[in-house]
Amino acid sequence: MDYPRLRYVEVFPLENGATRSFVLRDPSGLAEEIIVLSGEALFFLQFFDGQHSLLDMRVEYMRHFGRMMDEQKLLQIVDEMNHRHFLEGEEFERHKAGAIERMLADPVRPAAHAGQSYPLEPEKLRKQLDGFFLHTNGAGKPGRANGAARPVGLIAPHIDLRAGGPCYSHAYRALLEAEAPEVFVILGTGHSGLRHMYSVLPKDFATPLGAARHDERFIQRLAANHFGELFSEPLPHRQEHTIEFQVIFLQHLLGGTHPFTIVPVLCSFVHQMLEEDRFAHEKALIENFTEALRKTIAEDGRKICVLASVDFSHVGPRYGDPNPPDGVFLSQVTAADWNLLTAIENVDAEEFHHSVARERDRYRICGYAPIYTLLAATEAKTGKRLKYDRATVDDQNSTVTFASAVLY
């Protein structure tokens, strides 16, 4: 701890009257508690890179603020962050190893967000999901299968159901009114990052509505077709909501009438990995996975739908912008999102990528990796945007945009 190194974590501001502090949160869930830091304490985090000693940090503090930070106070910050598993080191590695062992021993992936983002009680959950269709912004009550073309790809939000539930319903109505797929490859956004770009979890997903069975046959064939590592990063699945939220919709709408299996895949990479020479290895992994997924679907022979669980832009102080977004800025966000949706309608992976790259991901598209993977791997010829919406997530007008779309 003489040269502390911060793990990959999220930080966002917390306003309390005239006082501003900052919250640290671990998107992987390995650090189960949050940490609230003052602006003074936050200053030191830029030096938690494993290269700066505690003395180096105190010197930098002196240069910036004109006074020396008390050594004991800095030690307390480091000790607390280490104890709560926000720092790399031996203590964190022991904690991580124990978490992996416990997760692999569990016969299913337990529901991580039941009782928080959605009801724990099955009947209350079913009522909530039905209500999304009938909401003012919902798709309306779905009819029976009416001969509509079967979707080979879907895009649905992954924002908290309480904020964006009605938008989900548009994707699922398109699914319900066509012939039901037998296998759903769910491409979730890996918010905590992945060393190998993709992570497949060969486990059933348990929710209050039962257990959704994973498709072992498809998973093993996908692994055989891909030269990269798919199973070495199970932990990000433990707390990740992006697959779980889609599973409860599928269980509610298809469970009992149309048996299905799932292929849970987390995706995590940024646009630079497809265009910069230093990411040649990562680019090769991405290209090989999309080809492997396309090949596995073609070889399988069953009715398969690839479902990308994504959100679009993230703007405002919560996500790093200096000011709350106003109407003019949000109109720019919408215009950029619609460029992405046009590329999706055209089933054009390269145009989707270039639309993000041209903006240098200015609006923080957290669904970039799953959407690119879907567009690059699918045999779909055309797409259709179904619903576009946004939600305000704090009192500074920080905003998340999201959409539903279908590919045929």
Q: In terms of Cα–Cα distance, which of 77, 391, 110 is closest to 247?
A: 110
pLDDT number for residue 146? 72
Which CATH number applies to 108-407? 3.40.830.10
Give CATH 3.40.830.10 domain extents, the chain: 108-407
Position 245 scores a pLDDT of 98
Task: Tell me the C-alpha distance between 85 and 265, whole Å.
Answer: 26
Token output for 53:
């000693």
| Residue 276, phi then psi, degrees to nearest 5 | -105, 135
pLDDT at residue number 242: 97
Identify the three-state secondary structure at position 399: strand
Q: Which residue type occupies 175?
A: L
Instruction: Note the pLDDT of residue 13.
Output: 83
Cβ–Cβ < 8 Å for 216, 182 = no
Residue 380 DSSP class:
-
Read off the pTM.
Answer: 0.90
CA atoms within 13 A on the CB side of 138: 20
DSSP for 291-342, please give it. HHHHHHHHHH-S-EEEEEE----EESGGGT-SS---HHHHHHHHHHHHHHHH
> Distance between CA atoms of 350 and 352, rounded to whole angstroms?
5
Residue 199 DSSP code: E
Q: What is the pLDDT tens value at each position of the chain, 408 positions in all?
A: 799 999 988 888 887 777 889 999 998 889 989 999 988 888 999 999 999 999 999 999 999 999 988 899 999 999 999 999 999 999 999 999 999 999 999 999 999 999 999 999 999 999 999 999 999 999 999 887 777 789 999 999 999 999 999 999 999 999 999 999 999 999 999 998 999 999 999 999 999 999 999 999 999 999 999 999 999 999 999 999 999 999 999 999 998 889 999 999 999 999 999 999 999 999 999 999 999 999 999 999 999 999 999 999 999 999 999 999 999 999 999 999 999 999 999 999 999 999 999 999 999 999 999 999 999 999 999 999 999 999 999 999 999 999 999 999
Q: How many CB atoms lie within 10 A of CB 326?
A: 9
> What is the chain's Cα-based Rg?
22
Amino acid at 103: M
| pLDDT on residue 106 | 95
Tokens of 75: 């030690």
Q: Where are the beta strands (DSSP E) in 3-107?
A: 10-16, 19-25, 35-38
* Coil vs helix vs strand at 330: helix
User: Would you say 113 and 29 are in contact if contact means Cβ atoms under 8 Å apart?
Assistant: no
| The two three-digit tokens of residue 97, written as one number | 């190893």
Burial class (CB in 10 A: 0-12, 13-18, 19+), 335: exposed
pLDDT of residue 391: 98
In Å, what is the CA distance from 274 to each residue of 54, 152, 361?
38, 25, 13
Q: Among candidates 62, 100, 81, which has minimal Cα distance to 1? A: 81
* Number of residues assigned to the chain: 408
Q: What are phi and psi of 187, to 5 degrees?
A: -95, 100
**Phi, psi (deg, nearest 5) at residue 337:** -60, -40
